[in-house]
Amino acid sequence: MGDLAAGVVAADTVTRPTEAWRRAVLVAGSHGGVYAAYCAVKAGVRGVILNDAGRGMDDAGIGGLSYCEALGIPYAAIDTMSARIGNGDDMIARGVISAANRIAAELGVEPGMSCAEAAKAMTRAGFPDQPIEPYKEARFEYPAGPSGRRIVLVDSISLVGPADTGQVVVSGSHGGILGSEKAAAMKIDGYAAFFNDAGGGADDGGFSRLPALDERGIAAGTVATMSARIGDARSSYEDGVLSRINDTARRLGGAEGMALKAFCEILVA
């Protein structure tokens, strides 16, 4: 683990805020899209560093850059190939900055800098403490198919609940396990689950949920980050192309290179 400077906190995801985040610089293993940035600033952070998730389609992996700039909050992202997505400690230890907004740049943050050094620089930022407009995250369900199963679209896998057990879940989240929590690959037992591969990333971290879900008999796969916008489940469903699947998905008729939408239709037939 890298050393944390005073005023810096590390987390594997932005979806589990704590009081320690308030007025601190947060280094989180989440992708750097708008929703993840929103979760961070809603928790009252002084600055935030996320994972660029390979940037991907429409640069969605760093969508939080302009969002945070408009709020006066420094934002930076690390290169997904430099540290494991979903692992805040690894980002501190190995992460290398790939992008920064104007506010972060004015504090000395620049591409090529270590994540730890950038986070320390951000501790000098002021604290705007302004109201954050609510972000309406997408959740949509299609009617049940002949199997009785539904296709559920969620921009973040954190939104699934007991009612989604046994369903086909298409998520805008990255495909990386949070830290080393295999059980956190998905908190319910869906029939199938799909994620964005975040460019694969360091140690193939963007695919690490797949074997963990295989062990639970859950079909799972990732869509290529250049085929669909990370953080956008509808984009994954409509545009996503499978980059990797687990053995359970393969037995059910999935294949790399297949359109995710086509595979989902098989799964609910």
pLDDT tens digits for range 108-167? 999 999 999 999 999 999 988 777 888 776 789 999 999 999 999 999 999 999 999 999
Backbone conformation region of residue 168, classed left if phi is above 0, alpha if psi is from -120 to 50, else beta: beta
Residue 1 lies in a domain: no
Are 158 and 228 within one domain? Answer: yes
pLDDT higher than threshold 80 for residue 4 = no
**Bridge partners of 25?**
8, 47
Contacts of residue 195, defined as CB under 8 A and 6 or more positions apart, other chains included, come to: 157, 171, 173, 174, 175, 209, 220, 221, 222, 223
Residue 191 lies in a domain: yes
pTM for this model (two decimals): 0.93
pLDDT tens digits for range 5-19? 789 999 999 999 999
Are 144 and 264 within one domain? Answer: yes
Which domain-ending residue is among 122, 153, 179?
Answer: 122
Are 98 and 189 within one domain? Answer: no
Give the CA distances from residue 90 to residues 103, 144, 221, in Å, rounded to whole numbers and listed in that order: 24, 41, 24
Residue 3 lies in a domain: no
Are 148 and 257 within one domain? Answer: yes
- Please spell the DSSP secondary structure of 196-229, one letter per residue: E-TT--GGGGGGTHHHHHHTTT-EEEEE-TTTS-
Are 91 and 156 within one domain? Answer: no
Token pair of 185, please? Answer: 């690959």
Residue 144 lies in a domain: yes
CB-count exposure of residue 70 (10 Å: 0-12, 13-18, 19+) = exposed
Largest CA distance in the chain: 57
The whole-number pLDDT of residue 265 equals: 97
Are 161 and 246 within one domain? Answer: yes
pLDDT tens digits for range 47-86? 999 999 999 999 999 999 999 999 999 999 999 999 999 9
Which residue, 253, 261, 244, 232, is CA-closest to 57?
A: 232
Q: Given the structure tokens 């699934």, which residue do they identify?
A: 160
The whole-number pLDDT of residue 137 equals: 66
Are 243 and 205 within one domain? Answer: yes
Which domain-ending residue is among 122, 153, 176?
Answer: 122
Q: Report the sign of the C-alpha dihedral through residues 195, 86, 199, 205, in that order.
A: negative
Are 154 and 227 within one domain? Answer: yes
Range of the domain at 167: 139-268
Are 172 and 226 within one domain? Answer: yes
Which domain-ending residue is among 122, 151, 173?
Answer: 122
Residue 128 lies in a domain: no
Are 155 and 66 within one domain? Answer: no
In the chain, % of residues over pLDDT 90: 90
Residue 230 lies in a domain: yes
Are 63 and 110 within one domain? Answer: yes
Domains: count for the chain: 2
Residue 132 lies in a domain: no
